[in-house]
Amino acid sequence: MKKLSILLLLALMSATAQEAPQGVKALEASLNKERMAQAVEMFEKLDKNKDGKITVPEVPAKKFKNKAWVQANLNGDMVLTWEEELIWQYNFQKKNATKSEKTKTTPVDTKAQKASKDVPQGIKALEASLNKERMAQAVKMFEKLDKNKDGKITVPEVPAKQFKNKAWVQANINGDMILTWEEELIWQYNFQKKKAEKSK
């Protein structure tokens, strides 16, 4: 029974690998910034001898029994290659995209969405609505973190875990892990409004 389960798992993983883009270049091109950044960060940290694969003793053998590592290490040889890591990241990205599509088909009016409906519409109106203190904080934070000056803050400009911070969850209204200047202004506006209500 155990042997049958292992064979089924290997067959499933093989089918999953076949669905992914073929070759390292194609896989790298298929990943978004967040997934690519996580793949690079993990591999650079664990591939200590820089030979393009992660093996024992670079990581303990028990690591390969972890669910995610079992899925990633397609042939079960306890040698995680860069290509296998990219396939895992591709499948994770695809799974997340499917989930978000399902969420889109069922509109949910979250607190963040409600809050954004009550604010001035458009960047100019939002900027005009903020007092000097809030505007200064918004500008200072954005100038510091938007390293490539494209008007949005993304991974790897900030680590992915930053978007799990309560304030960032509230600010990143659509949850796409891309904080735009407009989203930052909306957050500052709501913070200013809440502070004003408390002081009454």
What are the DSSP E strand ranges found in 31-122? 53-55, 79-81
- Mean pLDDT confidence for 152-174: 90
Q: Residue 166 is encoded by which pair of tokens?
A: 């309560």
Lowest average pLDDT, out of 18-22, 53-57, 141-145, goes to 18-22
Residues 33 and 70 grouped into a single domain: yes
Residues 94 and 59 grouped into a single domain: yes
| Domain hosting residue 161, numbered range | 111-198
Residues 29 and 87 grouped into a single domain: yes
**Which CATH number characterizes residue 9's domain?**
1.10.238
Tens-place pLDDT, residues 35-53 = 888 899 999 999 999 999 9
Q: Give the pairing of strands 79-81 and 152-154.
A: unpaired
Residues 132 and 89 grouped into a single domain: no
Coil, strand, or helix at residue 66?
coil
Residues 84 and 124 grouped into a single domain: no
Residues 153 and 79 grouped into a single domain: no
Question: What rounded mean pLDDT belongs to the chain?
Answer: 82
pTM for the complete prediction? 0.46
Beta bridge partners of 152: 180
Tens-place pLDDT, residues 74-129 = 899 999 999 999 999 998 888 888 766 655 544 444 444 455 557 788 889 889 99
Residues 134 and 193 grouped into a single domain: yes
Residues 120 and 53 grouped into a single domain: no
pLDDT at 13 over 80: no
Which residue bears the tokens 């200590």? 48
pLDDT of residue 22: 85
